[in-house]
Structure 1
């Protein structure tokens, strides 16, 4: 099979399709009103990062005359042209969604955004008082002239360009009536919107509209001719010298450079004054096709906070409250004893992340724990996991933490945590040269009566208690001696000079994971040819790797049924006669962000299932330290199979990929309504109720002391 004849859908175009599916959720009338605004904000945030990294990367390839190596993909020039057309159309749809679909319903619910002209006297007085007391002291008007150059504007900051003319006062003033320009940054430290007094309903005004209304107070010696909000998105893909002597300092320098990256997008209001427009194009050296003229407001990401407005809870999704404790830890006082009894599985956010935090917290204070080793990729701003690791070090435990400083857009947060961990006595590693450490693993070494025992948590998601409330992930707790040996070997590779070992159970990138998945897919092909049970069911965030894709096409042609749940980018094209007719792809986009990675292979009638941190992308298989692990406990294995089946049966948030690469909602005709996320939530609640009932009905009720 000649690889170049096989279809391969470009990853950037596929990502734009994913963001379109998120935007569809903002259009959906059955979604609560504030959630529709939140989805709209997510599309804006997604698009910002897409421009900062992916579009910037394609532009850099075009500028450097980079020639692609793959015959099956688009050239950078052809891709850039398609992306510019697609992003312009997409942003038009964003604002159509806001102004035609969402805003009228907001008004029906008594929620309005006003400009200065629409306010009554009381509202105007309230706004003026806010301006003088709070806003005015924070503002810094920046004139732009021969002696004061155009300022370096922070990436993604919202600014107002002001076109001024000097007031005629005396003949000595040579600059009277001359054109001049200034910039006022809309302060990001303040909320983007101000609620105004309102007799009926709720009214708001945006910060930039307040500033524009009060510009005369900022430029008293000039006449205001025009003003226009604008926003610059910059190239923010860091290039880090990993051979630098002081690696942390190198990352810090790169973060500063990000703020000065080349502009890749200029957002303006459609009604922007032509002199201001020309001024900005000249100052920013921006190209015509990099300008996005929009009806406004600019920067839709603020709707994420607006959607959480107190008093609007009835216009939001009913929150998914995790059951606590997680069902497998019901009644557990000693987390180590509970794990010794059998392997435990937790499904977030339907089950509380607290058991993961408790695992590290108990280890920190347990006198029998000798060492804790853990990887951290993205952690929350006030991380209880990091606090527990610091306490463990202060209690004399040997604590080794791998903090990935190259976790994109989390570099500063991770640097702060790394420094705090080091100060407390933890041994901090910053990863391996040339590789990001993306695996999710925590190892606790404990001295017990029968010797040393290793306890493990292995996960599909980050050690982040904040995102654990909105990302779907799965974690496994085990004290299997063979898993423990693999974990020790893995940490020795990360922290020392150990040669990658032959793992008994773990599948680890970059040395063994690609070959493992190739071997598993080829085995399914062989089983199909022999007439044995065969099949592949996989859930990943992205499917990009061409070698895996072409092998899946080969498996489809051999008759292997393949089911893929791919949330985001999918470069494989399903349902093509003679190529991929045995492959079905669905994408689930809903209230929660699908994040877990699960891999099932039928294996001739003895199905195997694996979970882990890796997507099917070249970066995960070849350029990162990733971990995929098997689920071997029969009860947990069955539960994992059921999780995959529930996902596959979703007909509420699932869309099915068509052979022309478009997506359509799954046809639910004749089928009961199934939302996988709500099903998992209900199942967790039911399991907890069953456990509570068992405890209540138990004839053996423990007697607790007054203490």
Structure 2
């Protein structure tokens, strides 16, 4: 047995390598000819954006460990140095496949649709004239060539900016200049063509006209390049003013340490040596790109209104949500029973209207809400500001440390404060990731608390493409818990004994461990048992170890893990009773659902937390039980369809690889398409009837889990 194998306590996949596998699954959607061409292009852009963030945070973290001479092996058996080498090899391979998809699959499909991306030498004379005029009138005034010599040092280049390195002939040796491709202009230029739509990328226009930028010099070579910098949040939370501290960090992020240099393939070797020296880049950090750098432009290209016919048919969110059909008074509806909204199939406007109504209702006394990520033009924030202007007591926790949303959150925090809201910036050492909204109202029979709890952010933009679930209730135990939670967030209150809430970092890990152990004991006693969990990521070693133990005891475990999954199913002696599936489709699966068989008395929970150390130990997270029998039935139907999807689902094999679900002999089923149909059908039901999904061929009565 090797040293690496001896270190294995449990089968465990490295989280960084598992993430790369996830990005491969996204890339597969770009290859799928069944997907509309603009959606294939959009998926390609997503893989590029994902990879950028992965380098800025995760790869940068591994490099920091290597630089700190950290040699300990992780649970998967890797030292940081070994992991960095393996990641580099795997990402290089990924990029080759990514650009193979772009050049051999996506571009030919675009061409069939009359859309071409051309290079300068492929243009006809009228097109060359057009880009020359565009260069003279638009580009030339914006560009700033930056020479690099003894008197002019190498410029500080912005993170992820696209640049052109130019090698010029000198008297004795070459010298260099840098031209930044202006990000303020659209990356793709639509050029006149006869029949169809032709485009050229901006960097190709600039390279074609470089001679006009360097008229007095002989150009030896030119190539595009792009650097990615370390951008993880590292702030002093003991600072007297967290807002100022985060603002300082955002300035530092722009000049973080380079962790990746992308160079166009076929570049000049002397230019590469120059950039390596200037940027202090190692060989393993260099990625030669066989195509246009920065494929994130594919997402914006695919979003152009003129190409809507080449996209998915628009999803029409149901409004009002089915649980609020024929309800004129949202507060009355919630008093009657708990209500549920399934986004994006049911419109997020339901949540926005709840806040807007509370802002204008003369009987509402206070509104309290957590905000983790919100949109650039947030109607939620606008409603909170309106509530404060109307004299309501409005308290908002804005999480300033939400990665890559810090600037947006700072802007909203300031606007909320200016409107008279009480704004809290989060807790020292913890990110506040829970999704909760509390409205305190004076009803005819006294003060009542209305609570909205969700699996996703209060973001009207992402709510159109992220699948999430929200619950409205005015049950007293939930209202008391909500008040207690906000008291903890806004003051110095000690975490209370909650009635219904399970809150991290103090109680969530013990709760999940207890629930998994309970299923293990039920299996040993031959009682009904089972675990179904839908999360974004499964990383936590303690949770994984207990799931293995539950599997050994005979507990049937169904895991729906969209992204990173460090657990390996089907391993002899560990996980024969565990299945893992990942669903990657047109919508981003984001809801977190937990179902425990509980000796036949099934327990259903929703929440904001994944099974990761950061969620269980270093964040304020909220998981809550779904007690309304009607809503539990709806959620179990959601789980059933997720587990029977054979269009967008991949299952993990015992070797850690993923394969598409075998559809032979089965009716094609996309859970996301089915959810959209069900939402439309629900919308026509009256509230005085029991709301139920239409009959399908798929039963939720699986081994170990019974319908509540």
TM-score between the two structures when normalised by the length of structure 1? 0.95
| 1:68 positional shift | 3.2
1:274-293 mapped onto 2 (5 Å cutoff): 274-293=269-288
User: 1:547 — aligned with what?
Assistant: 542
Q: Does 1:79 align with 2:83?
A: yes
Q: Does 1:618 align with 2:613?
A: yes
Deviates more, 1:457-466 or 1:132-141: 132-141
Q: Does 1:147 align with 2:120?
A: no
User: 1:365 — aligned with what?
Assistant: 360
2-structure distance, mates of 1:509, 1:69: 28
User: 1:89 — aligned with what?
Assistant: 93
| 1:71 positional shift | 5.1
* Secondary structure of the structure 1 residue equivalent to 2:683: helix
1:601 corresponds, among 596, 602, 605, to: 596
2-structure distance, mates of 1:386, 1:187: 32
User: Does structure 1 retain, via aligned residues, the 8 Å contact 2:322–2:685?
Assistant: no
User: 2:663 — aligned with what?
Assistant: 668
User: 2:339 — aligned with what?
Assistant: 344
2-structure distance, mates of 1:203, 1:352: 37
User: 2:524 — aligned with what?
Assistant: 529
User: 2:695 — aligned with what?
Assistant: none
1-structure distance, mates of 2:516, 2:411: 42
Q: Does 1:228 align with 2:223?
A: yes
User: Does structure 2 retain, via aligned residues, the 8 Å contact 1:610–1:630?
Assistant: yes
Q: Does 1:638 align with 2:633?
A: yes
* Secondary structure of the structure 2 residue equivalent to 1:656: strand
2-structure distance, mates of 1:637, 1:53: 38
User: 2:698 — aligned with what?
Assistant: none
Question: Cα distance 1:144–1:611, how it changes in 2: closer, same or farther (>3 A)?
Answer: same
User: 1:52 — aligned with what?
Assistant: 56
User: 1:506 — aligned with what?
Assistant: 501
2-structure distance, mates of 1:520, 1:150: 58
User: 2:578 — aligned with what?
Assistant: 583
User: Does structure 1 retain, via aligned residues, the 8 Å contact 2:484–2:496?
Assistant: yes
User: Does structure 1 retain, via aligned residues, the 8 Å contact 2:73–2:79?
Assistant: no
2-structure distance, mates of 1:442, 1:81: 45
User: 1:561 — aligned with what?
Assistant: 556
| 1:221 positional shift | 1.7
User: 1:480 — aligned with what?
Assistant: 475
1:386 corresponds, among 381, 390, 394, to: 381
* Secondary structure of the structure 1 residue equivalent to 2:169: strand
Aligned residues: 684
Structure 2 unaligned runs (5+)? 1-5, 690-708
Q: Does 1:332 align with 2:327?
A: yes
User: 1:469 — aligned with what?
Assistant: 464
* Secondary structure of the structure 1 residue equivalent to 2:240: coil
User: What CA deviation, in whole Å up to 9, does each residue of 1:387-432 have, x standing for no partner?
Assistant: 0111111111111000000000000000000011111111100111
1:303-342 mapped onto 2 (5 Å cutoff): 303-342=298-337
Q: Does 1:419 align with 2:405?
A: no
User: 1:208 — aligned with what?
Assistant: 203
User: Does structure 2 retain, via aligned residues, the 8 Å contact 1:461–1:595?
Assistant: yes
| 1:457 positional shift | 0.6
* Secondary structure of the structure 2 residue equivalent to 1:299: coil
2-structure distance, mates of 1:177, 1:3: 57
User: Does structure 1 retain, via aligned residues, the 8 Å contact 2:323–2:687?
Assistant: no
User: Does structure 1 retain, via aligned residues, the 8 Å contact 2:466–2:587?
Assistant: yes
The two structures, once aligned, show a CA RMSD in angstroms of: 1.5
2-structure distance, mates of 1:637, 1:667: 29
TM-score between the two structures when normalised by the length of structure 2? 0.95
User: 2:425 — aligned with what?
Assistant: 430
1-structure distance, mates of 2:687, 2:449: 31
* Secondary structure of the structure 2 residue equivalent to 1:53: helix
User: 1:659 — aligned with what?
Assistant: 654
2-structure distance, mates of 1:317, 1:475: 25
| 1:680 positional shift | 0.1
